[in-house]
Amino acid sequence: MSFVNPVEQLTREVKEYRKAEYSVNPLFLNRWSPRAYSDQKISDEDLYSLLEAAHWAPSSFNDQPWRFIVAKTEAQLKTFHEFLNPFNRAWAEKAPVLVLVASSKKRDNGDFNGAHSFDAGTAWGQLAIQATLLGLSTHAIGGFDKEKARRLLNVPDVLDLHAVITIGYRGEKEILDANLQERENPSTRKPLKEVIFEGTVNP
């Protein structure tokens, strides 16, 4: 699968499925969430480049509440597979790296941080964009057993668990089950007018 510089042009498949209403960098349209992964490994340099990008996200009071639990060895990945739901495990277990995104509910002074989830989501977004820049694919998974993950990974209660991120190089969609092959395309978006309100929310 040839790599197209995501800041220069839209990929062929994105051109077919996505069209922005206003001018944006092609990078934002080229980022999507496939499920087919090749068996190509990811270098530590590239992996930590993604995590570095995530760590430079903005956050309330610069608290940086995000936490990333990384699985990249066979043993670590096997543990992560145990708490994925069966539907997601069927394709996600082929990804060479999994990252559980969490965030701390408390600030350093002990106060509750009401922005921790919002900030962690911003960090995940930056990780996904950096992955696209490096020719990698990501997919955020919400379908996992949080309590089992907490137990197996020894996660303290102060951390909220949000999503498991698959990271890897794209594979051919034929490796997926037939029902998933049909969905292995960039998703579209609602018209912008449905999600933007000027001044007040329309009745």
Query: What confidence score (pLDDT) does residue 8 get?
Result: 77
Q: Show me where the domains of the chain are located.
A: 1-30, 33-172
Average pLDDT in the 36-46 region?
A: 97
Query: What confidence score (pLDDT) does residue 64 get?
Result: 98
Query: What confidence score (pLDDT) does residue 4 get?
Result: 59
Q: What is the mean pLDDT of the chain?
A: 95
Q: Report residue 202's pLDDT band, with 50, 70 and 90 as the boundaries.
A: confident
What torsion, rounded to 10 degrees, do the Cα atoms 190, 23, 117, 46 define? 120
What torsion, rounded to 10 degrees, do the Cα atoms 98, 133, 172, 179 define? 70
Residue 62 backbone class (left: φ over 0; alpha: ψ -120 to 50; beta: rest): left
The percent of residues above 90 in pLDDT, for the chain, comes to 95
- 3-class secondary structure per residue, 152-195: HHCCCCCEEEEEEEEEECECCHHHCCHHHHCCCCCCCCCCHHHC
Look at residue 188 and tell me whether its pLDDT is greater than 80.
yes
pLDDT in tens, 10-38: 999 999 999 999 999 999 999 999 999 99
Look at residue 203 and tell me whether its pLDDT is greater than 90.
no
Q: Which helix (H) or strand (E) holds 104?
A: strand 97-104
Query: What confidence score (pLDDT) does residue 185 get?
Result: 96
Provide φ and ψ at 165, rounded to 5°: -100, 125
For the purposes of burial, counting CB atoms within 10 Å of the CB of 112, is it exposed (0-12), middle (13-18) or buried (19 or more)? exposed
Average pLDDT in the 145-164 region?
A: 98
Query: What confidence score (pLDDT) does residue 27 get?
Result: 96
Average pLDDT in the 69-96 region?
A: 98
Q: How far apart are CA 76 and CA 197, in angstroms?
A: 45
Query: What confidence score (pLDDT) does residue 3 get?
Result: 57
Average pLDDT in the 83-90 region?
A: 97
Helix axes 74-83, 146-153, angle to 10 degrees: 150
Distances (CA, A) of 154 to 113, 116, 147, 148, 159: 22, 20, 10, 10, 11
Write b or e for each residue in 159-178: b if 16 or more Cβ atoms lie within 10 A of its Cβ, otherwise e: bbbbbbbbbbbbbeeebbee
- What homologous superfamily does CATH list for 33-172? NADH Oxidase (3.40.109.10)
Average pLDDT in the 95-119 region?
A: 97
Q: Which helix (H) or strand (E) holds 35?
A: none
Distances (CA, A) of 12 to 135, 142, 145, 178: 15, 29, 36, 22
Q: How far apart are CA 168 and CA 160, in angstroms?
A: 25
